Amino acid sequence: MTRTIGRAHARFLGGALVAAASLAVLAGCAGTPSGAALVGTWGSTAASQPNLTIENDGAFSGTDGCNRLTGKGSIDGDTITFGPIASTMMACQGVDEWLAKASSGTAKGNTLVVSDRNGNEIGKLDKSK
């Protein structure tokens, strides 16, 4: 037994396929953060220097120049809001541990401007090459 599809049904099915394909494309883009400029390594990887690596999903890790830092933040545009920061607790002389106090960071060109929970700028990190 053979069934035929009328023109109205064919148009409906064609439209449904186009809609499904469009949704699949949009769903694929949903995992890409809007703040792609944030992704990468900021600061210097030289000894006793602060640096931070930010991943697509908002995960971050680095050092304040003494202690290792890690956590998960949320990205919105060119700003990351840092979640709780886990840190080692080594005592290092002559190292400014400002990065452990970060609450947010905003990419401004090749510079990450880091702010504390009051919105005060506490430091800057240049994008690593």
Residue 40 β-bridge partners: 54
The per-residue pLDDT for 4 is: 54
Residue 19 has pLDDT above 90, yes or no: no
One DSSP character per residue, the chain reads ------HHHHHHHHHHHHHHHHHHHHHHHTTS-TTGGG-EEEE--STT--EEEE-TTSEEEEESSSSEEEEE-EEETTEEE--PEEE-----TT---GGGG--EEEEETTEEEEE-TTS-EEEEEEBP-
| Residue extents of the structural domains in the chain | 1-30, 36-126
| This prediction's pTM | 0.72
Most confident of 19-33, 83-97, 103-117: 103-117
The per-residue pLDDT for 7 is: 54
Q: How confident is the model at residue 24 (pLDDT cuts 50, 70, 90)?
A: very low
Please state which architecture CATH assigns to domain 36-126: Beta Barrel (2.40)
The per-residue pLDDT for 29 is: 42
